[in-house]
Structure 1
């Protein structure tokens, strides 16, 4: 019986496709490093460390999906995007994935490009696009921020799951049973449930931080509302 990994294990996707996504992941993370340097300051740097540690912890919650080495888990991309922004957030998730693969054997080292593309790049990007949209149309109250965090977290998990489906179609080698539509359905249903759990955790965490220190929430600082609010509504005036 094979041991389930937290992420895509070696042998699930063939070498050429894994190599292509490794190049893509490397290019994307390099771009995030360049853009993230512009955001890093004395406030964001320690927050990024805390976010990475939190993501590492929540990704330890692992939910088997297939017996061939694929499993689902919480991602943390939306949480990172809200608290430290899309560029630093993607780097936080990528660093966690690298440490898990190299130190703890969670996910195949040869599959790192695939996992980083799905979870750090696609998941975080999808989350931040929704965050930017929702924070322009929803009131910046705790309830509005909670809805934003929940929806973006749920979407990020589903997008990352569908990223794996595309990768498997391009170069899948393991027998995961059924056709592509069946695989997509299995991934969507299982990750919908995971996404709901992640959404609740993300919403609770973000609202808690925003109530105490709204200045630490990157999205509230960087994304301006469509129409200026007369008074701050999350965390009070400061």
Structure 2
């Protein structure tokens, strides 16, 4: 759903940019409460994983494909504020390096793909956890539902922006119906990927799922033919002491394989927005990307003629740059949190 330059006029693009900048600023502040020495590098990995999986377009209808947006996944794994930052980092890297998503439309893309998806997914997720049993299965179900609804919500948000500042004269009702319809199907794929990823992390390291803190599946014993809760086990070693190196390396290798190898087999069909734009005429005034001459434009390495090698190298470079930039940002946020805590502890008022 990467909006290119020329779909939305300048005033609305600027307004969306202001909204996106405000969302990023609020998220930078909020992420201080979510990040620590363990989760900061993992947040960078989440951004890189989202970048990699976004390269894997999957077919959803005749001649149409979809890809992960990632807002729900990021919010559930590392927190909603950090989730907005993760998606923003991915969109920034895609726009600058790969000419994917217009630079003047960066605010639109961050607002729609980062802000809306995170807010909707996390609100649905938290709402469901309040009524579902406090188990890991409930976390997975809530993640699936939040991710599913976040994608058509993002499509509706794009339609609203198009209604306010679309550069072509297309009936809004037709745009809304087409966008939401195809993105409901894409949302199913988003939900499956999100639930599978969250479930996999829960299975091995539930302590690393931000939104599942404090939840667990209680051990059951069969007594007299009935299942009852087992006595609580003795306190284990502090979770914070457990290393995240294995998870980080596994995640990084997975992202590199997905972007460097599996991406070659992704669907070549246009994604939901591209298909709707072509069918309805939204793309009549689309503009060439400012980074169209980038050495990595269109997810290929310039002057590398072998398509498999070119796309694979571009994917690996993208994962590497995203994890480095993302981790750098999240470490900086984490250090700011530590500085704030130190300042607070040393500024305690003296009694007189």
Q: TM-score range by the shorter chain?
A: 0.7 to 0.9
Contact 1:80 1:86 in 2 (8 A): yes
Q: CA deviation at 1:146?
A: 2.0
* Cα distance change, pair 77–188 in 1 and its aligned pair in 2 (3 A): same
Counterpart of 2:218?
A: 231
The one of 20, 23, 44 aligned to 1:28: 23
Counterpart of 2:193?
A: 201
The one of 104, 120, 125 aligned to 2:119: 125
* Cα distance change, pair 30–232 in 1 and its aligned pair in 2 (3 A): farther
**Deviation sequence 1:97-124 (CA, Å, 0-9, x none):** 0110011000100000000000111110
Runs of 4+ off more than 4 Å:
62-65
Q: What do you get for the CA RMSD once the two structures are aligned?
A: 2.4
The 3-state SS of whatever aligns with 1:82 is: helix
Structure 1 residue runs without a partner (length 5+)? 1-5, 66-70
Counterpart of 1:215?
A: 207
Counterpart of 1:186?
A: 178
Q: Select the structure with the greater relative contact order (CA < 8 A; seq sep ≥ 6).
A: 2
Contact 1:82 1:219 in 2 (8 A): yes
The 3-state SS of whatever aligns with 1:110 is: coil
The 3-state SS of whatever aligns with 1:99 is: helix
Counterpart of 1:68?
A: none
Contact 1:11 1:174 in 2 (8 A): no
Q: CA deviation at 1:41?
A: 0.3
Number of residues of Structure 1 aligned to a counterpart in Structure 2: 219
CA distance in 2, matches of 1:64, 1:101: 23
Q: CA deviation at 1:63?
A: 7.2
The 3-state SS of whatever aligns with 1:109 is: coil
CA distance in 1, matches of 2:102, 2:204: 39
Structure 2 residue runs without a partner (length 5+)? 221-231, 237-352
**Deviation sequence 1:56-81 (CA, Å, 0-9, x none):** 1122234799xxxxx85320111111
Q: CA deviation at 1:230?
A: 8.9
CA distance in 2, matches of 1:143, 1:38: 26
* Cα distance change, pair 232–45 in 1 and its aligned pair in 2 (3 A): farther
CA distance in 1, matches of 2:53, 2:112: 17
* Cα distance change, pair 168–230 in 1 and its aligned pair in 2 (3 A): closer
Alignment of 1:70-81 (within 5 A): 73-81=67-75
Q: CA deviation at 1:50?
A: 1.5
Counterpart of 1:55?
A: 50
Counterpart of 1:163?
A: 157
* Cα distance change, pair 63–181 in 1 and its aligned pair in 2 (3 A): farther
Q: Which has the larger radius of gyration?
A: 2
Counterpart of 2:274?
A: none
